[in-house]
């Protein structure tokens, strides 16, 4: 029943249904999260015997004074701010175009979706060639406009830009598909009503398409923000296992990876993870708050 | 604004034609109803007038201007859609104000106008709600207010009252009629409710399977139906329809033999079957057998058997018993003959 009051019995029944999933979630999601939270407070830790002799805030103090971590936070923020808006705008624009053309639209959809089903390593290999300073396609094209060859992957100035361009491109496929679904769900009758009410194409876009698409835009941007904060494999693959020239593409997760796997500083790695967690939480909460006022379901 | 269709045909998919060679003129300042069964092409006709749909062939004129090539933006008509099509993300007030916003009317003026219109359609207490939390009837009224907001010179209403209860429906149709007469806006009103069409309109266009059956005043439709479809579609209770073969010699001598030869169907309005001789008005006499007789309120319906066919009359004055034999007097007015194409060949004013 739709308006049934929860009782002890119905709650117990619901729990029973949820049990299998709960067991899996608790073991593989909840427990590690709690564990890594606790780990970020380990200050003296014997890894081999799993003995913690002291807890404290030393890991966080270290992070706040570590210039590498500062770089990582800054780069992460630049990456998020660069990737998310571009992804939203470009994929919306492409989706609008694809929605208009009927000719070969199936082919175009497939083409745009390909990056999503291709492995990041393979994509990075392709972009490696595109970015190649001597033979790369990108410099070749820029040459037409009189731009001198840029060493995209070797110069600290351009490495972040190269990373952002590749990531946006990789994100497009899936987000275009999401936007296409959203566009298809907008009933033609709203456009008809808008035309009758005197709305030209632009006003139809701003008064019908944008508001009615806002749930998808919200989904795409939240998804994009979370994914971008966690960026790692693109960097690893594009810069051959380094955080870019002179740490120009060092992000928080890359920092975490270095601390954990190469320096074996588990406490610091966990602490940086906790900082990342709160950054994502903060931004997502802001997005949620914003969506309450501007997203129309 | 006068609306003229010249030989307009429409096909959605290029193979099946929905509307066939429509020709009509809707005079300026009148309220015209388009009446017809579901799927006959009423909404499609409105969409072509609004400019949302282009005719496959033929021309559309607003006054003297050929608007066939103009789109909805240029034609500037007001329209209430059959499915309301209110903007789901805007509240009632913003929905009503939207056409004014597009027309760049200053905000305070917009709001004042919208509230006036909301009062007119009795939704002034719902202004802050989103369409999703309104009842069907309330949504319809918002849609009417929105269509009126921009004071169009042509107002198209696609079954704007279908979701209202009986009383509100009558109130709203009087309101629409009042607004129409006050403003003189040419209005085209789609409905499949004949009662509504009869009450509200100056002229009624009866449409069936993409063809205009008859375009005339309500009275003419009833008294002089041009064919069997119109005769059957207009009138409550429905006209009695018999085959000419059901009659024996009852009509012989009363009607021209040549006509009787061409006749396929006979239509008799329920009030054209009297239980007493009316003298000169009586066309013929038939003998029937009473099957049932029901009385409620002012209605008296007698169901009769005539040579194995059912007849309904509303005119029985005397007390009658079921199973009894009853002679009935066929009246001249309300008696029609139709040929094999369904065209009326006898009855109506021509034979009065
Ligand atoms: N978009 C469309 N594409 C193809 N065929 C359509 C479309 N819209 C309507 N039709 C067809 O055109 C015919 C007329 O439809 P229309 O909507 O004009 O009927 P209507 O008279 O308004 O009916 P109702 O009283 O049920 O609203 C129907 O046979 C319908 O199936
Ligand atoms: Mg319709």
Residue B286 maps to which CATH number? 2.40.50.100
Q: pLDDT above 90 covers what percent of chain A?
A: 46
Domain co-membership, B159 together with B242:
no
Domain co-membership, B218 together with B75:
yes
Residue A225 CA to residue A219 CA, distance in Å, equals 10
Nearest in space to A129 (alpha carbons), one of A158, A147, A152, A160: A152
Amino acid A2: pLDDT: 65
**How many CB atoms within 10 Å of residue B255?**
18
In this structure, the residue with its CA closest to atom 3 of ligand 1 is B12
Which atom of ligand 1 is the closest one to the Cα of B44? 18
CA distance A200 to chain B (A): 7
CA distance B83 to chain A (A): 8
Amino acid B348: pLDDT: 80
Query: Does B162 fall in a domain?
Result: yes
Residue range A101-159, pLDDT digits in tens: 877 777 887 887 888 888 888 888 889 889 888 888 888 888 888 888 788 888 888 89
Q: Is A195 close to B77, i.e. CB distance below 8 A?
A: no
**How many CB atoms within 10 Å of residue B119?**
12
Residue B232 CA to residue B334 CA, distance in Å, equals 12
Amino acid A216: pLDDT: 92
The domains found in chain A, sorted by start residue, are: 59-294 (1.10.3720.10)
* Residues A241-270, mean pLDDT to the nearest whole number: 89
Query: Does B200 fall in a domain?
Result: yes
Q: Is B81 close to A192, i.e. CB distance below 8 A?
A: yes
Query: Does B233 fall in a domain?
Result: no
Picking from B206, B228, B250, the residue at the C-terminal end of a domain is B228
CATH number at residue B184: 3.40.50.300
* Residues A215-223, mean pLDDT to the nearest whole number: 92
* Residues A62-76, mean pLDDT to the nearest whole number: 92
**How many CB atoms within 10 Å of residue A290?**
12
- Between A and B, how many residue pairs show a Cβ–Cβ distance under 8 A? 57
Amino acid B352: pLDDT: 63
How many separate domains does chain B show? 2
Domain co-membership, B218 together with B255:
no
Residue range B310-333, pLDDT digits in tens: 999 988 877 888 888 888 899 988
Contact of A177 with A111, CB cutoff 8 Å: no
Domain co-membership, B312 together with B188:
no
Contact of A127 with A166, CB cutoff 8 Å: yes
Q: Is the pLDDT of residue A209 over 90?
A: yes
Query: Does B316 fall in a domain?
Result: yes
Amino acid B56: pLDDT: 94
Domain co-membership, B221 together with B247:
no
Residue range A24-61, pLDDT digits in tens: 999 998 998 898 889 888 887 777 777 777 888 888 99
For residue B88 the two structure tokens come to: 């789901």
Query: Does B352 fall in a domain?
Result: no
Ligand 1 centroid–CA A257 distance in Å is: 62
Domain co-membership, B136 together with B169:
yes
Amino acid B298: pLDDT: 77
Nearest in space to B273 (alpha carbons), one of B283, B262, B259, B261: B283
Residue B281 CA to residue B270 CA, distance in Å, equals 15
Q: What is the ipTM of this complex?
A: 0.84
Residue range A11-29, pLDDT digits in tens: 888 889 999 999 999 999 8
Domain co-membership, B219 together with B242:
no
Amino acid B10: pLDDT: 95
Give B229's contacts (C-beta < 8 A, 6+ positions apart). B206, B208, B213, B342
First CA to last CA distance, chain A: 24
Residue B85 CA to residue B159 CA, distance in Å, equals 13
Domain co-membership, B157 together with B223:
yes
Picking from B228, B261, B296, the residue at the C-terminal end of a domain is B228
Q: Is B76 on the interface with A (CB under 8 A)?
A: yes
| CB of B41 closer than 6 angstroms to any ligand 1 atom | yes
Picking from B204, B228, B252, the residue at the C-terminal end of a domain is B228
Domain co-membership, B190 together with B289:
no
- HSE toward the beta carbon, residue B20, CA cutoff 13 A: 11
What is the residue range of B68's domain? Answer: 3-228
CA nearest to A206 within chain B: B102
Q: Is B53 on the interface with A (CB under 8 A)?
A: no
Domain co-membership, B136 together with B205:
yes
Residue B34 CA to residue B22 CA, distance in Å, equals 13
Domain co-membership, B311 together with B220:
no
| CB of B81 closer than 6 angstroms to any ligand 1 atom | no
**Residue A288 three-state SS:** helix
Q: Is B129 on the interface with A (CB under 8 A)?
A: no
Amino acid A147: pLDDT: 80
Amino acid B3: pLDDT: 94
Domain co-membership, B117 together with B56:
yes
User: Which ranges of chain B have pLDDT less than 70?
Assistant: 352
Angle A156-185/A210-229 helices, nearest 10 degrees? 140
Amino acid A1: pLDDT: 57
Residue A51 CA to residue B67 CA, distance in Å, equals 86
Query: Does B60 fall in a domain?
Result: yes
Query: Does B103 fall in a domain?
Result: yes
Query: Does B44 fall in a domain?
Result: yes
């Amino acid at each position: 029943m739709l308006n049934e009051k929860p009782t002890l019995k119905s709650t117990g029944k619901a729990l029973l249904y949820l049990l299998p999933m709960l067991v899996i979630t608790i073991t593989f999601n909840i427990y590690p999260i709690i564990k890594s939270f606790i780990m970020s407070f380990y200050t003296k830790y014997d890894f081999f015997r799993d003995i913690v002799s002291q807890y404290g805030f030393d890991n966080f103090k270290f992070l706040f004074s570590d210039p590498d971590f500062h770089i990582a936070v800054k780069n992460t923020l630049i990456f998020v701010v660069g990737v998310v808006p571009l992804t939203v705008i470009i994929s919306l624009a492409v989706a609008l175009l694809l929605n208009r053309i009927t000719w070969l639209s199936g082919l175009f959809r497939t083409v745009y979706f390909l990056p999503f089903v291709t492995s990041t390593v393979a994509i990075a290999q392709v972009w490696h060639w595109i970015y190649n300073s001597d033979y790369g396609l990108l410099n070749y094209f820029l040459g037409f406009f009189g731009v001198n060859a840029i060493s995209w992957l070797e110069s600290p100035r351009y490495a972040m830009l190269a990373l952002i361009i590749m990531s946006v491109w990789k994100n497009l496929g899936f987000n275009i598909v999401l936007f296409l679904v959203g566009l298809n769900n907008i009933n033609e009758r709203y456009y008809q009503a808008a035309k009758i009410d005197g709305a030209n194409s632009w006003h139809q876009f701003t008064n019908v398409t944008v508001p009615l698409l806002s749930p998808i835009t919200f989904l795409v941007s939240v998804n994009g923000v979370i994914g971008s904060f966690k960026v790692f494999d693109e960097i690893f693959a594009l810069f051959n296992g380094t955080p870019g020239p002179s740490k120009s593409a060092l992000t928080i997760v890359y920092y975490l990876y270095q601390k954990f796997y190469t320096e074996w500083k588990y406490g610091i790695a966990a602490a940086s993870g906790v900082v990342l967690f709160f950054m994502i939480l903060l931004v997502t909460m802001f997005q949620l708050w914003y969506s309450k006022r501007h997203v129309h379901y | 604004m006068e609306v003229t269709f010249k030989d307009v045909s429409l096909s959605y998919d290029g193979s099946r034609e929905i509307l066939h060679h429509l020709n009509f003129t809707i005079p300026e300042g009148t309220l015209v109803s388009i009446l017809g069964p579901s799927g006959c092409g009423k909404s499609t006709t409105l969409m072509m007038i609004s400019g949302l749909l282009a005719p496959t062939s033929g021309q559309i004129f607003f006054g003297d201007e050929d608007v066939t090539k103009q789109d909805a933006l240029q034609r500037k008509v007001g329209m209430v859609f059959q499915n309301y099509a209110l903007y789901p993300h805007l509240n009632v007030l913003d929905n009503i104000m939207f056409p004014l916003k597009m027309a760049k009317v200053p905000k305070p003026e917009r709001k004042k106008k919208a509230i006036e219109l909301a009062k007119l359609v009795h939704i002034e207490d719902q202004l802050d709600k989103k369409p999703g939390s309104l009842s069907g009837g309330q949504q319809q009224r918002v849609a009417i207010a929105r269509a009126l907001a921009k004071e169009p010179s042509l107002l198209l209403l696609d079954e704007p009252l279908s979701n209202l209860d009986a009383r509100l429906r009558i109130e709203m149709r009087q309101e629409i009629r009042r607004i129409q007469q006050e403003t003189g806006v040419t209005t085209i009103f789609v409905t499949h409710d004949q009662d509504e069409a009869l009450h509200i309109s100056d002229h009624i266009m009866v449409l069936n399977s993409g063809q205009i059956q008859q375009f005339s005043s309500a009275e003419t439709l009833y008294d002089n139906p041009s064919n069997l479809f119109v005769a059957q579609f207009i009138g409550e209770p429905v006209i009695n329809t018999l085959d000419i073969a059901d009659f024996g010699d009852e009509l012989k001598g009363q009607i021209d033999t040549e006509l009787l030869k061409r006749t396929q169907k006979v239509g008799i309005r329920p009030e054209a079957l009297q239980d007493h001789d009316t003298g000169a008005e009586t066309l013929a006499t038939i003998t029937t057998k009473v099957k049932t007789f029901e009385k409620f309120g002012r209605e008296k319906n007698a169901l009769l058997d005539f040579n194995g066919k059912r007849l309904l009359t509303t005119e029985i004055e005397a007390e009658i018993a079921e199973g009894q034999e009853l002679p009935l007097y066929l009246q001249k007015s309300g008696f029609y003959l139709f040929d094999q194409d369904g065209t009326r060949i006898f009855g109506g004013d021509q034979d009065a």
